[in-house]
Amino acid sequence: MGCPTVLLLLLAFLTPGVAIRVPPAMKALSSLRWSTSFTTRHTVAKKYSIHYIQQKVDHFGFTADKTFKQRYLIADEHWKKNGGSILFYTGNEGDITWFCNNTGFMWDVADQLKAMLVFAEHRYYGESLPFGNKSFKDSRHLNFLTSEQALADFAVLIKHLKRTIPGAKNQPVIAIGGSYGGMLAAWFRMKYPHMVVGALAASAPIWHFGNLVPCGVFMEIVTKDFKRSGPNCSETIRSSWDAINRFARTGAGLRWLSEALDLCTALTNTEDVQRLKAWISETWINLAMVDYPYESDFLQPLPAWPIKVVCQYLKNPSVSDAQLLQNIFQALNVYYNYSGQASCLNISETTTSSLGTQGWSYQACTEMVMPFCTNGIDDMFEPHLWNLREFSDDCFKQWGVRPRPAWIITMYGGKNISSHTNIIFSNGELDPWSGGGVTKDITDTLVAITIPEGAHHLDLRARNAFDPTTVLLARSMEVRHMKQWIRDFYASLRKKH
Amino acid sequence: MGCPTVLLLLLAFLTPGVAIRVPPAMKALSSLRWSTSFTTRHTVAKKYSIHYIQQKVDHFGFTADKTFKQRYLIADEHWKKNGGSILFYTGNEGDITWFCNNTGFMWDVADQLKAMLVFAEHRYYGESLPFGNKSFKDSRHLNFLTSEQALADFAVLIKHLKRTIPGAKNQPVIAIGGSYGGMLAAWFRMKYPHMVVGALAASAPIWHFGNLVPCGVFMEIVTKDFKRSGPNCSETIRSSWDAINRFARTGAGLRWLSEALDLCTALTNTEDVQRLKAWISETWINLAMVDYPYESDFLQPLPAWPIKVVCQYLKNPSVSDAQLLQNIFQALNVYYNYSGQASCLNISETTTSSLGTQGWSYQACTEMVMPFCTNGIDDMFEPHLWNLREFSDDCFKQWGVRPRPAWIITMYGGKNISSHTNIIFSNGELDPWSGGGVTKDITDTLVAITIPEGAHHLDLRARNAFDPTTVLLARSMEVRHMKQWIRDFYASLRKKH
C-alpha cells in the first residue's frame, strides 16, 4: 500500500502564517524508518532481497558525475523466466521496505502473473540519499529531488535489471504505485512507454494541480465522508470551529479548551489555537483517507470504518459549546487513543524533522504544488482561500526555493493525455484524493476504475475477509488489464521473431 | 532547411589524437552568424517578427531561479484564426534566423495549412545564450545544454503562445525539424504529445546511438553516393589515401603534396597529414549530404548534383600517385573553389571557435554520442575503429565532461518506440544520415518516407524547378499526414464541446 501523501500544501493552507508543516502520513513513515521489526496488523513480513544500484545524482546535467546508491528490493518466489512478467513498484516518499511490506496487492497477484516483484526506492527517501546525511542540508543538495530525476532512476534501474538478470530481458514490465507513487507510475508510462507496457496508478491525484480541478474538491469529499457516516456528523464538526473560537477569546477559555481536549501542552495564544484547529482538521482528513472496512493501523491503530465510530460522538451540532467540544474530544480519541495508551493529545507532534518529511516538504515547495481551499458551505471547515504568494514565501523561507505551480502540467500534460495508452487510474470514492484523480475513462486503454466503498488506494492493500465487493471487482479488472498488456507484449515479441 | 550536423564524433574518429574538431556544417553557421544580410541563392529573405521569452535556465532544478531570453520568430501571413494550425520549428544547433530563411517547405505549405510559422531557437545557439558571452566558459555554464532542457523550452514556449496569442489556444501544433532538429521534433512528440499533434522529423538519425545501427553505415552510404555518381569514382578515392601516405614519407613528398593540392599552409609532419586526410574525408562527407539536384550554396556554392561533377575527375584509380592526387585536387576544387575565388585551400579552416560550434561540440561530448567506423572495404575510407574511451578522454580534456553513450536510448527509447503516434520520419537515400534514421514504417502512424534521390532533408528545402518527382511525392505525403492530424484535432475538439 502506498501512503496518504501530499498534504503539505493543505497544512500550510490550514495554518496561515505558520511555517510549513509536516503531512500526517509522513509522521507514520518517519517513525517507521527507525523501526526494523515493523509489520502491519494484517500482513506478515515479506521475503525479499535487498539490492543497490549506482545512479547518477543528476541525469540531466553532466558537470557533476557524482553517483549515489539507490536501494531496491526483489521478490521472485513466483517469477517464471518463461512467460513471466515484472511488477515494478514506483517508490514514493518513504522507506521502500515499508511500501514493500504494505502493498499486499502485488504479493497477492504475483503467482497468477508469474511475476517478479521489484520495489524501487525514491531518491532522497529511506536509504537512497544522494548526499548521505547532507542530502537535506540546503537547496543545493536538494536540487536533484524531482519527479523527473526519480523517473530517470526507474528507467536506468529497469535497463539494469534487464541486462543483469537472466530471463528478464524479454519480459514485460508493469509500473504500479499509489498516491504520489501512483502519479509516478502513470507519468512513467507516459514518459517512458518503452520501459513499461502499462501502469496501475492507484489513488493518483494527477489533476490536483493548477486549475484542473476546483481547489475545494478535496475538503468537500472529506466532508461527504463524514456526512454519510452518521446523522449531523459533518454539521457538528462545522459548528465546532466557532465554538473553539468563542472559547479562545479569553484566557479562561483557553485553559478550559486545553483541559477538555486533554492537550499535552496548554494553549496560550491565537497561534496555538490556529495550530489546534489545523491539527483537528488533519485528523478528519486522515480519517477520510484511511476509512477502511476493517481494523487497520496505517497512521494509528483504528477500528473498521473509523469515521462511523467517530460520528457516534458527533450527532448533535446544537448543544452548548462546552458539550460540543467534549464530544469532539471523544471523537478525536477514536483516532489518537483507540489503543487506550495515550496520556494526552499532542498537537505539535506533526513537526518532526525526519528525512521523509523533509523530502516531501521540499517537493511540495517546488513541483508538487496542489491548491486547496474551503468555503465552509460545501465543506465542514472554516473558509480559507488558496494563497499561492503566501505559500511561496513560506517555501522560500524554509528551503530557499519557490514553487513553479504550472510546471507539472507543462511536463505531464494536465488533462490532455489521451494520446497515451495502457494506464489504469483507480480511485476510491471515499478518498479525498479522488477529487484530483482520473475517474472517467479517457480512451479504451486509459481507463478509470472507481471503488465506491474505497478509501485511499484500498485496492493496493492485501486482500482481506472484510473487503467490499467493489474492491474485489476493481482488483479483478486491474488484473485483467495487466494480463492483456502481458499477452500483447508476448504477441508482439513473437511477431518480431 | 535544417543543416547537416552532428559530425563531431566522426571528425574525432577521423583524426585520432587530434583535439575534437568542428563539424563542417558548423563553419557555415558560424560565419552566417555574423552576416546580417544573408540570403541563399534560391530563397529570398522571409518576413517574420522577432520575439523573446524568458525561460528558466534549469527546468529540472529549483536551486537557481535564473532565466534567460530565448529568441523565436513568427510568420503569420497565411495564418487563419479559424481552422488554422501552427507549424513549430524545433530549432537545432544554430542561429534560428538562418533556419527560418532556409526551411522553405514550411513557407511553401503555410497557405494550404492556414498555418502560423514559429521558429524556436535552441538554447546556447544564436542569441539564446543562458549566460550571455559566458555561456561556453566552462562545464558549469554549459550544464544546461541538453536535449531535455531544449524540449522543455519548446513546451513552455508553446504554452506561452497559446496563452498570449488570441486564436492560438485551440489550434493544433505540429513540430517540424531536420537533422538534430528532426530528432528534437520526433522526441518532442514522444515526450510532450499534449503539446503537438504530430511531428515531421526530416533526416533525423535517432538510431545512430549505441549499437542500434552498425557504426559503419554512415560512411558506407557516403561511399555509395560516389560509386553511383561515376565509374571508378569511389575506387579512386579509396586509392588516394595510400598515395598520400606514400608521398608523406619524405619531406620532398610533403612539399609536393602541399603544392599539388595548393594548400595555404605547407604540411610539415605526420599530424598535418592526418589532418589533411580528415579534411579531405570531410569534403566527401559534405558532398554526400548536399548532393542536391540543383545549384545550391549551403556549405559552399555548388553545382547541381555536385558529386557527379566531382567524379568526372575521379575516373581512374590506377594512374600514378602524382596523377591520382592531382585529380583529387581537381575534385576538391569543385567543392572549395566552384566560384573561382579561392587562392589556396585551407585545411585548418574547420577549427573555428564560434558559439554554434562550441555548443555542438559539447552536446556530442555528453548526450549525442554517435559511433562511427570504417573498414576500407565496404567504404572508400581508411579503416578506423570506433574508440569510445579515446573519445571520452578527448571530451574530458576539452570540456571537463564525459559522454554517457547509453543515455539517449534510455531516455528516448531506441528502437522500442512503437507506442508513440503521429511521427513522419523522412530520409533521403543519398543522405549518409539515413543510415541512422527510421526508414521503414513502424506503425500506421509512425511512418517512414524515403526519397531515393534525396540528400540531407531535401524535403525541407523550398520547392525548386529541378526537384525530382520523389521529393515532390514525399512532400505531398507529408502534407497529407499533417492535414489528417489537423482534421483529427478539430474533430476531437468538436467532440469535447
pLDDT digits (tens, 9 = 90+) for B349-399: 643 333 357 899 999 999 999 999 999 999 999 999 999 999 999 999 999
Residues of chain A with C-beta less than 8 angstroms from the C-beta of B155: 410-411
Q: What is the pLDDT of residue B301?
A: 82
CB-based contact (8 Å) between A414 and chain B? yes
Over 90: is that where the pLDDT of B51 sits?
Answer: yes
Of A234-248, A327-341, B320-334, B458-472, minimum mean pLDDT range: A327-341
Mean pLDDT of B144-173: 98
Over 60: is that where the pLDDT of A15 sits?
Answer: no
Radius of gyration, CA atoms only, chain B: 22
CB-based contact (8 Å) between B137 and chain A? no
d(CA B437, CA B212): 10
Q: What is the pLDDT of residue B409?
A: 98
Mean pLDDT of B295-302: 79
Residue B179 annotated in active site: yes
Residues A21 and A12 sit within 8 Å (Cβ to Cβ): yes
Contacts of B214 (CB under 8 A, 6+ apart): none
Q: What is the pLDDT of residue A259?
A: 94
> Cβ of B410 and A61 within 8 Å?
no
pLDDT digits (tens, 9 = 90+) for A120-169: 999 999 999 999 999 999 999 999 999 999 999 999 999 999 999 999 99
Over 90: is that where the pLDDT of B68 sits?
Answer: yes
Q: How far is B123 from chain A (nearest CA, A)?
A: 14
Q: Calculate what percentage of chain A has a pLDDT beyond 90.
A: 82
d(CA B33, CA B35): 6
At A42, the pLDDT band (50, 70, 90 cuts) reads very low
Q: What is the pLDDT of residue A196?
A: 98
At A354, the pLDDT band (50, 70, 90 cuts) reads very low
Q: What is the pLDDT of residue A45?
A: 66
pLDDT digits (tens, 9 = 90+) for A297-327: 776 788 999 999 999 999 999 999 999 999 9
Contacts of B118 (CB under 8 A, 6+ apart): B72, B73, B74, B86, B87, B88, B89, B157, B161
Q: How far is A4 from chain B (nearest CA, A)?
A: 25
Over 60: is that where the pLDDT of B193 sits?
Answer: yes
Mean pLDDT of A101-109: 94
Q: Which of A30, A14, A19 is nearest to A360 (CA)?
A: A30
Q: What is the pLDDT of residue A339?
A: 75
> Cβ of B152 and A413 within 8 Å?
no
Of A456-470, B16-30, B221-235, B404-418, minimum mean pLDDT range: B16-30
Residues of A numbered 366-395 whose beta carbons fall under 8 angstroms of chain B's beta carbons: which are they? 366
Mean pLDDT score of chain B: 89
At A341, the pLDDT band (50, 70, 90 cuts) reads confident
Residues of chain B with C-beta less than 8 angstroms from the C-beta of A421: 419
Mean pLDDT of B140-156: 98
- Enter the DSSP assignment of A20: P
Q: Is the ipTM of this complex over 0.95?
A: no
Residue A194 annotated in active site: no
Comparing B23 with B356, which gets the higher pLDDT? B356
CB-based contact (8 Å) between A139 and chain B? yes
d(CA B392, CA B373): 16
Q: What is the pLDDT of residue B339?
A: 75
> Cβ of A65 and B411 within 8 Å?
no
Q: How far is A73 from chain B (nearest CA, A)?
A: 21
Q: What is the pLDDT of residue A349?
A: 63
**Residue of B76, B272, B394, B431 marked catalytic:** B431
Q: What is the pLDDT of residue B354?
A: 37
Q: How far is A420 from chain B (nearest CA, A)?
A: 8
**Residue of A208, A384, A456, A457 marked catalytic:** A456
Q: What is the pLDDT of residue A1?
A: 36
Q: What is the pLDDT of residue A351?
A: 31
Q: What is the pLDDT of residue A44?
A: 56
Q: How far is A421 from chain B (nearest CA, A)?
A: 8
Over 70: is that where the pLDDT of B40 sits?
Answer: no
Over 50: is that where the pLDDT of A221 sits?
Answer: yes
Q: How far is A375 from chain B (nearest CA, A)?
A: 29
Q: Calculate what percentage of chain B has a pLDDT beyond 90.
A: 82
CB-based contact (8 Å) between B66 and chain A? no
Mean pLDDT of A222-245: 98
Q: What is the pLDDT of residue A347?
A: 86
Q: Calculate what percentage of chain A has a pLDDT beyond 70.
A: 89
Residue B431 annotated in active site: yes
What are the Cα distances from residue A445, in Å, to A181, A185, A419, B331?
20, 15, 10, 58
CB-based contact (8 Å) between A193 and chain B? yes
A54, A56, A58, A60: best to mutate for the B interface, most B CBs within 10 A: A60
At A102, the pLDDT band (50, 70, 90 cuts) reads confident
Over 90: is that where the pLDDT of A83 sits?
Answer: yes
A55, A58, A59, A62: best to mutate for the B interface, most B CBs within 10 A: A62
Mean pLDDT score of chain A: 89
B54, B62, B160, B174: best to mutate for the A interface, most A CBs within 10 A: B62
Q: What is the pLDDT of residue A428?
A: 98
> Cβ of A410 and B62 within 8 Å?
no
Mean pLDDT of B5-33: 35
> Cβ of B159 and A406 within 8 Å?
yes
Type and span of the H or E element at A479: helix A469-496
Residues B126 and B71 sit within 8 Å (Cβ to Cβ): yes
Comparing A358 with A351, which gets the higher pLDDT? A358
CB-based contact (8 Å) between A440 and chain B? no
> Cβ of B65 and A149 within 8 Å?
no
At B36, the pLDDT band (50, 70, 90 cuts) reads very low
Of A197-206, A226-235, B277-286, minimum mean pLDDT range: B277-286
Over 90: is that where the pLDDT of B11 sits?
Answer: no
In degrees, to the nearest 5, what angle opens at C-alpha B360 toward C-alphas B359 and B366? Answer: 95
pLDDT digits (tens, 9 = 90+) for B254-280: 999 999 999 999 999 999 999 999 999
- Enter the DSSP assignment of A51: E
SS3 assignment for chain B: CCCCCCCHHHHHHHCCCCCCCCCHHHHHHHHHHCCCCCCCCCCCCCCCEEEEEEEECCCCCCCCCCEEEEEEEEECCCCCCCCCEEEEEECCCCCHHHHHHHCHHHHHHCCCCCEEEEEECCCCECCECCCHHHCCCCHHHHCCCCHHHHHHHHHHHHHHHHHHCCCCCCCCEEEEEECHHHHHHHHHHHHCCCCCCEEEEECCCCCCCCCCCCCCHHHHHHHHHHHCCCCCHHHHHHHHHHHHHHHCCCHHHHHHHHHHCCECCCCCCHHHHHHHHHHHHHHHHHHHHCCCCCCECCCCCECCCHHHHHHCCCCCCCCCHHHHHHHHHHHHHHHHCCCCCCCCECCCCCCCCCHHHHHHHHHHCCCCCCCCCECCCCCCCCCECCCHHHHHHHHHHHHCCCCCCCHHHHHHCCCCCCCCCCEEEEEECCCHHHHHCCCCCCCCCEEEEEECCCCCCHHHCCCCCCCCHHHHHHHHHHHHHHHHHHHHHHHHHHHHC
Mean pLDDT of A270-295: 94
